[in-house]
Structure 1
């Protein structure tokens, strides 16, 4: 197979499934051959990203992801995406291991937000690991936004939605998800809320019936995957250094 891209996923599997579902749903196709060419790596046994970030004595997720990157690079995809926001903690190390462009999902999401909501006050909801490693916070600061991370109470609700509901039970508590958005909007005066975890993107797919503005990084990377894949199939060159 030529002119394809690679999806590094499994962190978690339902979030990766959501990405693939949206990818296929949004691809304009009238026959089999109109769909995109891609390889999915559903590496579900990658150690927990947040556990490692909060406690470096816990197993690192870098070695298995490096292995995935190195394996896939041998197949020469046009580009790669990692379907896990927290895994971008090691983005520099992963990109340094290959000459294949690795799309930076948090950076892409904030770039889109800057164009769409240039004067917004931003709320960020994510895992404790993503909050602790400042992946999104640094991007949001650099883009010039005022922002809020909420408080411990709302962080506990976010963690419960991600781990207790989605990862453990495979379900989305729509009321809990909508309560989180409402709290970020009403209590912390956020005009737009960044979904800084792919499980939250899964929640958005399953429970989109709310009135709050969200920046869904996974949804954005779906659209960009389609855009880049189409260009590559048509023989167009993409300057990945300037895509943001």
Structure 2
């Protein structure tokens, strides 16, 4: 197979399944051959990202992801996407392990959000403790010129419960809890847009999209970018990967 891309996933598998479902659903197609060519690496045994970020004595997720990146690089994909926001903690180290472009999901999310909501003033972030601790999204949002809020401890605990208790453990979305989180971020913390800084939250958005709040969904955004780039490489177009976030 030539002119394909690689998806580094499995963190977690339901979120990766959501990415693949949206990718195939949104790809314009009338026959089998219209779909995109890609390889999925569903590496579900990668150590917990948040646990390591909060306590570096816990197993690191960097070595297995570097191994994945290097293995896939031997196959020469055109680009790679990594379906986990928190894993971007080691983005620089992962990109340094290969010459293949690795798309930066948090950076892309904020770039697209800035274009889509130019009048927004305050941006909320809901995410894992790891993503909050590593400041990936916080730095991107502030650099883009927005005010920023992560809510309070009560809302962060609700987010953790939705991600871990409901989606990762039970394999289902508590829609009422998800809606309450968005409502609180909008009403109490006055956020014009809420960034879904975890792919499990993207899974929640896919399963429970019926709400009135503006969200910036990194997984949905990278799905669209994957389709755009995948179609370009199929047509043989040369891509300037330094410009894809603009």
Q: TM-score, with normalisation over the residues of structure 2?
A: 0.99
Alpha-carbon deviation of 1:118? 2.1
State yes or no: 1:191 paired with 2:215. Answer: no
Q: Distance in 1 between matches of 2:119 and 2:239?
A: 30
Q: Is the 8 A contact 1:51 1:129 kept in 2?
A: yes
State yes or no: 1:33 paired with 2:36. Answer: no
Q: Secondary structure at the match of 1:100?
A: coil
User: What stretches of structure 2 of length at least 5 have no aligned partner?
Assistant: none
Q: Distance in 1 between matches of 2:172 and 2:141?
A: 30
Q: Distance in 1 between matches of 2:172 and 2:234?
A: 36
Please identify runs of 4+ aligned residues in structure 1 that moved more than 6 A.
Answer: none
Q: TM-score, with normalisation over the residues of structure 1?
A: 0.99
RMSD (Å) for aligned C-alpha atoms: 0.4
Deviations 1:93-124 (Å, cap 9, x if unpaired)? 00000000000000000000111112311000
Q: List aligned pairs for 1:215-226, cutoff 5 A.
A: 215-226=216-227
What is the match of residue 166 of structure 2? 165
Q: Secondary structure at the match of 1:195?
A: strand
Q: Distance in 2 between matches of 1:84 and 1:7?
A: 11
Q: Distance in 1 between matches of 2:7 and 2:152?
A: 33
Q: Distance in 2 between matches of 1:69 and 1:39?
A: 12
Deviations 1:15-64 (Å, cap 9, x if unpaired)? 00000000000001111100000000000000000000000000000000
Q: Distance in 1 between matches of 2:243 and 2:209?
A: 32
User: What stretches of structure 1 of length at least 5 have no aligned partner?
Assistant: none
What is the match of residue 9 of structure 1? 9
Q: Secondary structure at the match of 1:156?
A: helix
Q: Distance in 2 between matches of 1:75 and 1:142?
A: 36
What is the match of residue 61 of structure 2? 61
What is the match of residue 48 of structure 1? 48
Q: Is the 8 A contact 1:3 1:233 kept in 2?
A: yes
What is the match of residue 175 of structure 1? 176
Q: Distance in 1 between matches of 2:116 and 2:28?
A: 24
Q: List aligned pairs for 1:42-191, cutoff 5 A.
A: 42-120=42-120, 121-191=122-192
Q: Is the 8 A contact 1:15 1:199 kept in 2?
A: yes
Alpha-carbon deviation of 1:242? 1.2
Q: Secondary structure at the match of 1:112?
A: helix
Alpha-carbon deviation of 1:218? 0.1
Q: Is the 8 A contact 1:50 1:86 kept in 2?
A: yes
Q: Distance in 1 between matches of 2:75 and 2:2?
A: 9
Q: Is the 8 A contact 1:12 1:167 kept in 2?
A: yes
